[in-house]
Chains A and B, each alone.
Chain A
Amino acid sequence: MEQWLSLFEGFKYNLILFFVTILCAVPLGLLITFCSMSKFKPLSFVSKVFVWIIRGTPLMLQLFVIYYAPGILFNTPMRSRLIAAIIAFIVNYASYFSEIYRGGIEGIPKGQYEAGQVLGLTKTQVFTKVVLFQVIKRIVPPMGNEIMTLVKDTSLARIIGVGEIMMSAERFSKEGLIWPLFSTGLFFLAMCGILTILFGKLEKKLDYYKS
Chain B
Amino acid sequence: MAILEVRDLYKSFGKTEVLKGINFSMEKGEIIAVLGSSGSGKTTLLRCINFLETATSGKVFADGECILDASDKKKIPAAEMRRRQLNFGLVFQSFNLFPQYNVLENVTLAPKLLARENPDFKQRKRELFAGIEDNARELLSRVGLSDKLDNYPCELSGGQQQRVSISRALALDPKILFFDEPTSALDPELTNEILKVIKDLAQKHMTMVIVTHEIEFARNVADRIIFMNEGKVLEDGTPEEVIEHPKNERTKAFLSKML
Q: Which of A115, A117, A120, A134 sits near B100, CB closer than 8 Å?
A: A134
Find residues 133-187 in chain B having any chain A CB closer than 8 Å to their own CB. 152-154, 168-169, 172
Total B residues in contact with A, Cβ cutoff 8 Å:
27
A123 at the interface (CB under 8 A from B): yes
B85/A129 in contact, CB under 8 A: no
Find residues 115-133 in chain A having any chain B CB closer than 8 Å to their own CB. 115, 117-123, 125, 129-130, 133
Residues of A within 8 A of B94 (CB): 111
A118/B52 in contact, CB under 8 A: yes
Residues of B within 8 A of A109 (CB): 96
**Distance in angstroms between the alpha carbons of A114 and B89 in the assembled complex:** 12
B50 at the interface (CB under 8 A from A): yes
B154/A123 in contact, CB under 8 A: no
**What is the predominant secondary structure among interface residues of chain A facing chain B?**
helix
A114/B52 in contact, CB under 8 A: yes
Q: How distant is A118 from chain B, measured CB to nearest CB, in Å?
A: 5
Q: How distant is B200 from chain A, measured CB to nearest CB, in Å?
A: 22
**Distance in angstroms between the alpha carbons of A120 and B99 in the assembled complex:** 18
**Distance in angstroms between the alpha carbons of A111 and B180 in the assembled complex:** 13
**Distance in angstroms between the alpha carbons of A125 and B97 in the assembled complex:** 16
B51/A117 in contact, CB under 8 A: yes
The segment from A31-39, A182-190, A203-211 found at the interface with B is A203-211
Q: How distant is B70 from chain A, measured CB to nearest CB, in Å?
A: 18
Given contacts A115-B98, A129-B109, A211-B154, contact A122 B50 (CB under 8 A): no
Given contacts A137-B100, A210-B99, A210-B154, contact A118 B50 (CB under 8 A): yes
Residues of A within 8 A of B168 (CB): 119
A119/B152 in contact, CB under 8 A: no
Residues of B within 8 A of A211 (CB): 99, 154
Residues of B within 8 A of A111 (CB): 92, 94, 96
**Distance in angstroms between the alpha carbons of A112 and B100 in the assembled complex:** 11
Other than the known A112-B96, A122-B78, A209-B153, what 5 A-B pairs have Cβ atoms closer than 8 Å? A119-B172, A122-B82, A125-B113, A129-B113, A211-B99
What are 13 A-B pairs with beta-carbon distances under 8 A?
A: A109-B96, A112-B96, A114-B52, A114-B92, A115-B96, A117-B51, A118-B89, A119-B110, A120-B85, A122-B78, A123-B78, A133-B100, A210-B154
